[in-house]
Amino acid sequence: MGGDYAPKANVLGAIAAHELLSPNEHLVLIGDTQQIKPILAEQGFNADHFEYVHTEEVIGMGEHPTRAISQKPNSSISLGFSMLKHKEIDAFIGAGNSGAMMVGAVFSVKTVPGIIRPSLCTLVPKLSGGTGLMLDVGANADCKPDVLVQFGIVGSLYAENVMHINNPKVGLINIGEEDEKGNMLSLATFPLMKESNQFNFIGNIEGRDLFNEKADVIVCDGFTGNIMLKLAESFYIMTIKKGLKDEFFDRFNYENHGGSPVLGVNAPVIIGHGISTPKAVMNMVLQAREMVTTGLVEKIQAAFK
């Protein structure tokens, strides 16, 4: 029931995803079935293909995340995380209140032991045609050096297992390539990342390296990452407004990537844009499936034992 166009966009996205899933993979729709099933009927879709958990309670986009989770236990978000906690589902995605999604993830399935703070990541298109990964993009506005090192570990594992990049190159966003450049955070983080044997650290990278092949995994604090993400997303909007058609900038369309995985919790969770369309919802489902089938969470848990 989450998102600006819910439930229709979510239901249409689920229908599109269903066509791409294998027979042993199933979708569970959590929300108001009185609104959901008429949409399925309009599309001529067999409602028996999905499972349903009925609720009419919804956490609004502007509600306080922690308060809403505790005060609305029957909301679609709260019920989804309860099911995830009790292993009744393997992954949970939502395009609703992103704060509530983060709070739900941390307080239900909980953070992987050893991880200081879970992070949000996003895919970054490369000029060569490939794709990179940037994290954090908004979950942690302020970070300490050891947190950024952990972002390098989980980002590398995601790139290797879900994106199928062999020995991914991890770079630290900075204002210069030199080892001694940066603010207090980056200066303290650099030697820790350089000494780590848990990922392939290639040193500092600059903002101009975001879209080239220098690094596969771009590590930064959530404040920096969110600004970079929103700036990058604006490129696509600008090309549309200018009437320009460009294959590279078309890849900045968030719909192509689905949502932002929460890395560092004990189950696959993906948070979508509030403006998620059916195509974005479909890609979130496929993203979640990849996280499940590759055993990403289990590999992150093993790395931090």
Domains observed in the chain:
1-114+264-294 (3.40.718.10), 116-263 (3.40.718.10)
Residue 122 has pLDDT above 90, yes or no: yes
Residue 254 has pLDDT above 90, yes or no: no
Position 73 confidence tier, pLDDT thresholds 50, 70, 90? very high
179-211, pLDDT tens digit by residue?
999 999 999 999 999 999 999 999 999 999 999
Q: What is the mean pLDDT of residues 162-175?
A: 96
Residue 261 has pLDDT above 90, yes or no: yes
Q: What is the mean pLDDT of residues 51-66?
A: 92
Residue 265 has pLDDT above 90, yes or no: yes
For the ranges 156-170, 224-238, 254-268, the one whose mean pLDDT is highest: 156-170
Position 256 confidence tier, pLDDT thresholds 50, 70, 90? confident
Q: What is the mean pLDDT of residues 228-257?
A: 88
Residue 285 has pLDDT above 90, yes or no: yes
pTM, rounded to two decimals: 0.93
pLDDT of residue 206: 96
pLDDT of residue 274: 87
Rounded percentage of the chain residues whose pLDDT exceeds 70: 100
Q: What is the mean pLDDT of residues 102-117?
A: 95
DSSP secondary structure of the chain: --STTTTHHHHHHHHHHHTTS-TT---EEEE-HHHHHHHHHHTT--GGGSEEEE--B---TTS-HHHHHHH-TTBHHHHHHHHHHTTSSS-EEE-S-HHHHHHHHHHHT-BPTT-SS-EEEEEEE-TTS-EEEEE-SSS-SS--HHHHHHHHHHHHHHHHHTS--SS-EEEEE-S-SSTT-S-HHHHHHHHHHHH-SSSEEEEEE-GGGTTSSS-SEEE--HHHHHHHHHHHHHHHHHHHHTT---HHHHTT-GGGT-EEEEETBSS-EEEE-TT--HHHHHHHHHHHHHHHHTTHHHHHHHHT-
Rounded percentage of the chain residues whose pLDDT exceeds 90: 86
